Amino acid sequence: MDTAKSFLKKLRTFLIFAGPTTFVFLSVVIFPFIFGIYLSLTNWDGIASAYRFIGFSNYLTVFQDQFFWNSFLLTVRYVLYTVVFVNLVAFALAYLLTSGIKGEKVLRAGFFVPNLIGGIILGLIWHFVFSRALVFLGKSLNLELFSYSWLANPQKALWTLVIVSVWQYSGYMMLIHIAGLVNMPKEVIEAALIDGANDGQRIIRIILPLMAPSFVVSMFLTLQRGFMVYDVNLALTNGGPFRSTELISMHVYKKAFLAQEYGIGQSQAFILFVMVAAITLTQVYFSKKLEVEM
Amino acid sequence: MKYGKAKARDKSILGYFKYGFLCILLLIYLCPFYLVIINSFKNRTEIISNPLGFISKTNVSNFVNAFRQMNYLDAFINSLIITSISVLIIALFSSMTAYFFVRFKWKINRFLFFMMVTSMLIPFQSIMIPLVRIYGANLKLLDNKWILIYMYMGFGSSLSVFVYHGFIKSIPMELEEAAMIDGCTRVQTFFNIVFPLLRPTTLTLIILNVLWIWNDFLLPSLVLISKANRTLPLSTFYFHGTYTADYGLLMAGLLLTIIPVIVFFILMQKHIISGIMQGAIK
C-alpha cells in the first residue's frame, strides 16, 4: 500500500516535470526514427495504404545506385572544403579580432550578420550575385573567370556552395574561437612573450593547442551542418547543372517526395544517419584525445 | 624603456593595418546585401543593363508589389506566432525537465537524458519521411501551425534540456532545501528559486532557437501546405519561383524578409553575441 502510494507520488512528479517533454520528444523524434527503420524495409510508395515487408532489398538497391554514391561523394567533398575553409577563416578573424584593435565589437557583429538569415534567403541572394552581378563584372572588366555564370558550370557549381557556406558560417565559428581565445589563461601567453616567442611560434606552439576545445565544437557544428545542408543547396543551385551539386539531403528529398520511392529514400536517409553519426563520433573522440595529450 | 616604446608604436601601426584590412574584408562580406538593397529600387531593364550601378531614382513600387504578392503580412504573422510560441514552450518545459533530471537521478531519467543527448546526432533527413507519413497519412494533422509548434518542441528540447542540465548541476541544493522547509512544493520551488537563476541560460537558448525556427525551411515546407499558413522563408521561396525574371521585385522581397531579422539583431546584439559565445563554452 505504502509503496504503491509512493510510486503514484513519484509518477505525478515525473509527469509534471518531464511528462510533456518526454511525450513530445518520443512522438516526434524517437518513434518516427524507429518507424523509419521499419519503413526502409518495406516497398511503401507513399500512396498505397498496403505495403509489404521486403527485407533488405532497398538497401541493396541503394548500394548499387550510382546516383546515390555520386551524391554522397559530392557531399563528402563539399563538407571537407567547408570544414577546412570555415575554420581557417574563422580562426584568422577571431585571432585578429581579439588582438585589441579598435572597433572590435562592431566588426565582430558585422561578420556575424550572414548567420542571422536563413539559408533559403542567402541562397537566393547569392543566386543573383553569381548569375547576374559577377557575370556583369566579368564581362565589363574582361575577366574570363566571371564572364560565364558559375552556376551553369558543373565544375564550378559546387564551389559556389562552398563559398556561400564559408561566408555564412565563418562568422558563427569566429565567435566560438573568440570565446576560446578570450578564456585562454593570459599567463601562458605572457610567459611565452617573455621567453621571446614570436607571433608565429605563439600561435602554433601555444594558442592552437590550447584552442583544441573550440576546434572540437566548431568542427562538430560545421560537420553536422555540412552533411545536412539543404536550404542553400535548394535556393542556389537546386542540384544543377546536370545533378553536379545534388547533395545528399536533396537526393533523399527528391527520392522520397518527388520520385515517390519512400522506402528507398528512407534507406538512404538511414545510411546518412549511420555515416553522420560515425564521422562526428570519430571526430569528437579523436579531438578529445588530442586535447588530453596536449 | 626605449625599446618598449618603439615596440608599442610599431604595434599600433600594425593595429591600424589590421583594422583597415578587416574593414575592407567586412565590406566585401556585406557586398551581397548591398547589391540586394540597390537593386530592389530598380526595374528589370535597369538591372539587366547594369546590376552594379547605383540607384538613379527611388522607386518603391517593387516593395509595394512584393509586399502584396508575397502575402507578406500573413507570412510575417505566421512566422511570429510559430517562432515565439515554440521558443517559449521549449524554454519552459525543457528547464523543468532538466531540473527534474538533475535532482532525481532515477534510472528512467538517466535513460531519457541519454536518449536525448544521443538523438542530437540524428539528421533531420532521417526522420522527415516517417514524420510526414505518421502526421500526414495516418493522423491527418498536417497543414496546421500548432502541429508545427508541437514538432519544434520535439526537435528543440534535446539541446535545451542538455544545456539547462549542465547549468542546473552547478546550482547548490541548499537554496531549494530552505524553500522546501518553508513549505514550498517542488513546483513552487522550481518557479520561485531555480527558474529565475536560469535567466542567462534561458536567454541564450531563446536566441539560438529564434534564429533556428525563424529561418527554418525544410520542416515547415513539409508540414504547412496551404498558402495561408506559409512562414516568411516559405513565401519568399515560392514568390521567387513565380517571378524568376523580375529581379527588382525579387530583391525587394528579399529585403523585406531580411529587415525583421536585422531589427532583432540590432535590438539584441549584445545578448546574441555573448549568448552564442557562452553556448560554445558549454
Question: B23, A18: Cβ pair inside 8 Å?
Answer: no
Distance in angstroms between the alpha carbons of the first and the last residue of chain B:
43
User: What is the pLDDT at residue B113?
Assistant: 94
- Compute the distance between CA of residue A128 and CA of residue A119 in angstroms, rounded to an integer: 14
Of A14, A136, A171, the CB nearest to B50: A136
The reply to whether A28 falls in a domain is no
**pLDDT > 90 fraction of chain B, expressed in percent and rounded:** 43
Query: For residue range A6-29, what is the model confidence (pLDDT) as tens digits?
Result: 888 888 888 999 999 999 999 999
User: What is the pLDDT at residue B116?
Assistant: 93
- Please report where in the chains the cell 531593364 appears, as a residue: B45
**In sequence order, what are the residues at sequence separation of 6 or more whose Cβ sits closer than 8 angstroms to the Cβ of residue A110?**
B26, B29, B30
Query: Minimum mean pLDDT among A88-92, B5-9, B233-237: which range?
Result: B5-9
Residues in A touching B150 (Cβ below 8 Å): 24, 28
Question: A28, B153: Cβ pair inside 8 Å?
Answer: yes
Query: For residue range B200-224, what is the model confidence (pLDDT) as tens digits?
Result: 889 989 988 999 999 999 999 999 9
Contact present, A77 and A158 (Cβ < 8 Å) = yes
Residues in A touching B33 (Cβ below 8 Å): 113, 125
Residues in A touching B163 (Cβ below 8 Å): none
Mean pLDDT for the stretch of residues B109-133:
91
User: What is the pLDDT at residue B223?
Assistant: 92
Q: Is B14 helix (H, G, I), strand (E, B) or coil?
A: helix
**Which CATH number characterizes residue A154's domain?**
1.10.3720.10
**B99 touching chain A per CB within 8 A:** yes
Q: Report which of A160, A139, A164 is spatially closest to residue A151, judged by C-alpha positions.
A: A160
Query: Minimum mean pLDDT among A47-51, A262-266, B232-236, B272-276: which range?
Result: A47-51
User: What is the pLDDT at residue A201?
Assistant: 80
The reply to whether A89 falls in a domain is yes
The reply to whether A52 falls in a domain is no
The reply to whether A189 falls in a domain is yes
**B13 touching chain A per CB within 8 A:** no
Question: A121, B257: Cβ pair inside 8 Å?
Answer: yes
Q: How distant is the Cα of B158 from the closest Cα of chain A, in angstroms?
A: 8
- What are the residue boundaries of the structural domains of chain B, listed by start? 71-242
Of B21, B112, B251, the CB nearest to A22: B112
| pLDDT surpassing 70 at residue B56 | yes
User: What is the pLDDT at residue B72?
Assistant: 92
User: What is the pLDDT at residue B55?
Assistant: 77
Query: For residue range A180-190, what is the model confidence (pLDDT) as tens digits?
Result: 888 887 788 78
User: What is the pLDDT at residue A292?
Assistant: 57
Question: B264, A116: Cβ pair inside 8 Å?
Answer: yes
Q: Report which of B133, B184, B146, B154 is spatially closest to residue B90, judged by C-alpha positions.
A: B154
CA distances from A230 to A218, B154, B173 (A): 19, 21, 44
Contact present, B208 and B275 (Cβ < 8 Å) = yes
Expressed as residue numbers, the domain containing A274 is: 64-293
User: What is the pLDDT at residue B97?
Assistant: 95
Which ranges of chain A does DSSP label H, i.e. alpha helix? 2-17, 19-25, 31-39, 57-64, 66-96, 104-112, 119-128, 134-141, 144-147, 154-182, 186-194, 199-201, 208-210, 212-228, 231-236, 248-253, 262-293
User: What is the pLDDT at residue A200?
Assistant: 79
Cβ burial, residue A108 (10 Å; 0-12/13-18/19+): buried
| pLDDT surpassing 90 at residue B87 | yes
Return left, alpha or beta for B256; rule: phi > 0 is left, psi -120 to 50 is alpha, else beta.
alpha
| pLDDT surpassing 60 at residue B7 | no
Question: B96, A252: Cβ pair inside 8 Å?
Answer: no
Q: Report which of A180, A177, A155 is spatially closest to residue A237, judged by C-alpha positions.
A: A155
Radius of gyration for the alpha carbons in chain A, expressed in angstroms and rounded: 24
Confidence bin at B98 (pLDDT 50/70/90): very high
Confidence bin at B114 (pLDDT 50/70/90): very high
The reply to whether A35 falls in a domain is no
Based on the structure, what is the number of domains in chain A? Answer: 1
User: What is the pLDDT at residue B110?
Assistant: 92
The reply to whether A81 falls in a domain is yes
| pLDDT surpassing 70 at residue B3 | no
User: What is the pLDDT at residue A78?
Assistant: 94
- What does the DSSP assignment read for B52-101? TSPPSS---HHHHHHHHHTTHHHHHHHHHHHHHHHHHHHHHHHHHHHHHH
CATH annotation of B71-242: 1.10.3720.10
User: What is the pLDDT at residue B8?
Assistant: 39
pLDDT along chain A (294 residues), means of 10: 77 90 95 92 75 83 88 93 94 88 86 91 92 86 82 88 93 90 81 80 80 84 89 88 88 88 89 88 79 56
| pLDDT surpassing 50 at residue B93 | yes
